[in-house]
Structure 1
Amino acid sequence: MGENPSFRDGLLAAVPTLRAFAVSLAKNADRADDLVQETLVKAWDKQDSFQPGTNLKAWLFTILRNEFYSQMRKRRREVEDSDGSITAQLSVHPSQHGSSDLTDFRKALDLLPEDQREAIILIGASGFSYEEAAEICECAVGTIKSRVSRARTRLQEILAIEGESDFGPDALSAQVTKSAVA
């Protein structure tokens, strides 16, 4: 696309009246300047669609007006969140960490002896009481408690879990989501 000096001159000549119109629409000088700038960029980009000999100023005013109303429609869909309270509610822990933790847990669970794996799944995952698990496994309640305890200890060893801080999100993720909520 070649540069058209008369088109460029027409754009420059229209800037003061475009700005005045933009201020009357936007009621804000900064937004008006942004509107004028966006209008000039769109006009320059679409100068091939302008019909020489027609009213350039009217064409520019139409672009400006359409841009203003497009921005208004867009702003209606936006939510003001100056204090960050809405954004804080949207923060989530990265799912890839949970997925890899679950994969590690499944591998560790597979390393347990069958009786311990069965007991921990009945109590921890299936939600049975010790009495119900003992009845299912046809053994004493104390035996189930012992199997669950040994399974938990062994899982902690396999997964290198030393305390509660090893559960949940990593320290950086926890700090980010905690500060976003606070």
Structure 2
Amino acid sequence: MTGSFDVRAGILKAIPHLRAFAISLTGDVDRADDLVQEALVRGLGNLDKFQPGTSMQAWLFTILRNQFHTAYRKRRREVEDPDGQYAARLAVAPTQDAYVNLKDLGAALLQIPVEQREAVLLAAGGINYQEAAQICGVAIGTIKSRVNRARHALAERLSIADAEDIGADRIMKAAVPAT
């Protein structure tokens, strides 16, 4: 029982020092109290990791400091917006459009001849025409022709008339400002 009493006494003795340290870190009494409480909860939850014979106060200070830095890094990425005006101005394109477009492209690729599909995928993958011709065992002109036919076939299957039809539509472009 004396071991648990020593732990309890060590924690109680450390609280005022932890609170003073937390106030100096945060500059806010309420945030400091929350930080001390979180450090104590974490300390008690990890009491099995405390090395007997070492300083309970130093151990709790380390937990508090680490907790402060974790919260600081998280807060640094957050934007203060108490009245919601900033959030109301945010507009983000829906992510499902890209998924649907990719599925449509995949289906359209399966509808074109294998030779054209192979050529356009090599070109889209960054392989130059010379290397693509070597990979496919054909002349460079044949690869260029296959890529061109594949692009036209895909554009037709995806209802793409010109470059403006690729990506977000007019309404989405008007709603979501370019970044």
- TM-score, length basis structure 1: 0.49
Indicate whether 1:170 and 2:178 are aligned: no
3-state SS of 2:176 partner: helix
| In structure 2, C-alpha distance between the alignment counterparts of 1:144 and 1:87, rounded to whole Å | 50
Indicate whether 1:137 and 2:136 are aligned: yes
Give the letter for the 2:173 counterpart.
A
Larger Rg: 1
CA contact under 8 A between 1:81 and 1:87: conserved in structure 2?
Answer: no
| In structure 2, C-alpha distance between the alignment counterparts of 1:139 and 1:115, rounded to whole Å | 11
State how 1:40-51 maps to structure 2 within 5 Å.
Answer: none
3-state SS of 2:92 partner: coil
- TM-score, length basis structure 2: 0.50
Q: Which residue of 1 aligns with 2:25?
A: none
> In 2 relative to 1, CA 139–78 (structure 1 residues): closer, same or farther, beyond 3 Å?
closer
**Structure 1 gaps, min length 5:** 1-76
Deviation for aligned residue 1:155: 0.6
Q: Which residue of 2 aligns with 1:128?
A: 127
> In 2 relative to 1, CA 85–141 (structure 1 residues): closer, same or farther, beyond 3 Å?
farther
Q: Which residue of 2 aligns with 1:95?
A: 95
How many residues were matched structurally?
101
| In structure 1, C-alpha distance between the alignment counterparts of 2:104 and 2:157, rounded to whole Å | 9
| In structure 1, C-alpha distance between the alignment counterparts of 2:82 and 2:176, rounded to whole Å | 17
Q: Which residue of 1 aligns with 2:80?
A: 79
> In 2 relative to 1, CA 163–85 (structure 1 residues): closer, same or farther, beyond 3 Å?
farther
Larger RCO (CA under 8 A, 6+ residues apart): 1
RMSD, matched Cα: 2.6
